[in-house]
Each structure stands twice: as structure tokens, then as C-alpha cells.
Amino acid sequence: MQGDGGVRASIDGLPPLRDVIERHGLQAKKSLGQNFLLDLNLTGRIARAAGDLSQATVIEVGPGPGGLTRALLMHGARRVIAVERDERCLAALAEVAAHYPDRLEIIPGDALKTDFAALAGDGPVRIVANLPYNIGTELLVRWLTTPDWPPFYQSMTLMFQREVAERIVAKPGADAYGRLGVLVGWRTDARIVFDVPPQAFTPPPKVTSSVVHLVPRQTPLPADVKKLGRVTEASFGQRRKMLRQSLKSLGGESLLDAVGIDGTRRAETLSVAEFVNLANAV
Ligand code: SAM
């Protein structure tokens, strides 16, 4: 598309992302988990998967050159707050902010050192991000173990490597079912929305990715998050062993008897509710 004055423009009136990357010298850095999405149709699909954004403050981690950020704004996000660690991206993001006055706030810094609940302020919050793979799981676990529940966000729509996405949504009996699946299943309702092939990214990663949508349960079964963590860590730490063996340090057979679970079962056969019962009996 040609914009006014012969300058190329995208459907949102801003320059195409390839031009932005070139003009600001944003060659992807592996150390920052940079795999950019340049197709506004695809980023638009992610924005739509996040639900109604018109009343929401969207928190984004790692806006990079701004592809997903632009899609979120174009799809009507009331406000976007985006945390970016790579200072090279800030000038490009300032152009997006100028194009959408009062709707985009860029926070330069490390997402791992950010207090997201404090950033969120009042009103509904949705977290949407094409996460850097090296910190994606850690951020998800932090958001899932936030002390106040229901949490500060209404939903999370996040990109992960397919293999991690499978662990996130895994149910009992599945090979991918483990500590992460129990934590996710306990506090949220999670599903994979769609897959994204490597070629959709610049540069392409080695593996397929998936967008996961997680909605917090308003009233998860009551449990202490630390105790649940101890029980799942012990159970899945030796996942091929019988529970009476793997849970020995937490009470073994007598703990299992107390909640009516057969000690010859293996971790991957236990439902989330059974793990919660164990945590409450520890
Ligand atoms: N949102 C962009 C997109 O979809 O094209 C970029 C996604 S890229 C997978 C991950 C982004 O996270 C990069 O822009 C990277 O600089 C940023 N990032 C990496 N580590 C970060 C951290 N600790 N805190 C904040 N941002 C980080």
C-alpha cells in the first residue's frame, strides 16, 4: 500500500514492520529471545483471541518492533502497557505511541523485575504477549502463583513453543502432564487456540509455536500454592515411580492413605483435585 507522499504504509497507517526494523537497526538478538512477527494478519488473530479489548488495559511483554502492539491497538485495546528490555526498540515504539495518543505506554526494563499487579492499576487487565522463550515459563508461573486470587488479570493470551503449550494444557494421563499442567489446571481454564509455524517469525525459530489462552478460575479448589508445589515436585520428580515411593519424604503411604489414594498409582494418573487433597494433607 502507498501512503501519502509516496511513503509505504500498512493498514494501520504506520510503516511496514520490515521498514521499521531496517530504519531502527533492529536485527534480532537471540540472547533476547527475539523472533518477530511481521504479519499484521497474524498478530491481529492473536489480538482477537484475547477477547474484547475495548474496556481493557492490555499488558504486553516484549513489544519489540511493535507488531503485536499495533494489532492490539488496531483491534481497539483501550490502553496498552508494554514492557521492553531492548533499548534499541524504544524509538520505534515511540512512533507507535505517537500514532495512538494516550493509548500506549512503554515501560523500558526487565519483565522479570516488573511488578505487573502494580502496573495494572484499576479496571480489567488482559495479558497478551509473544513471549521471549527463555523467560516465558517463568513469567507464566509467576502470574499463576500471584498471592491474590482472583488475580489482577482477566485472561492471558501467550505464545509458547508448542511443546511448552502442550505441557500447559495437559490433562491427567497425557505424556505432557506434569507440575505445570497441575498448576495451570488448578487455577485456570487453558486451551491452545492455534499453532504458528516457524516461517511466520523473523528469524524463524526451530520449532512450531502455539498461542495459549488462559482464563483464571474465580474459585479454584482451596489449596496452599507452596504445598501444592512441594507435592507435585516430589510426585513428578520421579514420575515413573509409584507415589508411595516418590512421596516418601512428605509422608508416603500414610499421607496417601489419609486422602484415599492408592500408593501404587503414578503421578501422571492423579487429577488436579487429588493433588489438591494431597497438598492439604501435607
Ligand atoms: N512482540 C514482538 C513480536 O511479536 O514481534 C516481539 C516478540 S520477541 C519473541 C520477544 C521480545 O521480548 C523481544 O522484543 C525482546 O527484546 C523482549 N524481551 C526479552 N527479554 C525480555 C525481558 N526480560 N523483559 C522484557 N522484554 C524482554
pLDDT value for 122: 79
Q: Would you give the distance in Å from CA 174 to the centre of its chain? A: 21
Which pLDDT value is given to residue 7?
Answer: 62
| Whole-number Å distance between alpha carbons of 247 and 263 | 9
* 70: Cβ contacts below 8 Å, ≥ 6 apart: 10, 12, 14, 40, 43, 96
Q: Are 47 and 69 a contacting pair, CB within 8 Å?
A: no
Q: What is the pTM of this model?
A: 0.95
Q: What gap in Å lies between CA 137 and CA 130, rounded to an integer?
A: 12
Could you tell me if residue 62 is left (phi over 0), alpha (psi between -120 and 50 degrees) or otherwise beta?
left
Query: Are residues 141 and 180 in contact, defined by beta-carbon separation less than 8 angstroms?
Result: yes
Owner of C-alpha cell 501467550: 158
Task: Identify which of 18, 20, 24, 36 to mutate to test ligand 1's pocket (most ligand atoms within 8 A of the CB).
Answer: 36
Q: Do 210 and 170 contact (CB within 8 A), yes or no?
A: no
Q: Which atom of ligand 1 is nearest to the CA of 29?
A: 16
The identity of residue 223, as a single letter, is A
Q: Which residues line ligand 1 (CB under 6 A)?
A: 32-37, 61-64, 67-68, 83-86, 89, 110-112, 130, 132, 135
Closest residue by Cα to atom 17, ligand 1, is 62
Question: What was the pLDDT predicted at 4?
Answer: 44
What pLDDT score does 136 carry?
A: 97
The closest residue, in CA terms, to atom 16 on ligand 1 is 86
Element at 124 (helix H, strand E):
none
pLDDT at 142: 98
- What is the spatial distance between Cα 124 and Cα 259, in angstroms, rounded to a whole number? 38
| Domains of the chain (ranges, CATH numbers) | 6-216 (3.40.50.150), 225-281 (1.10.8.100)
Residue 105: CB partners within 8 Å, gap ≥ 6? 79, 80, 81, 82, 97
Q: Which residues of the chain have pLDDT under 50?
A: 1-6
Element (H, E) at 216: strand 209-216
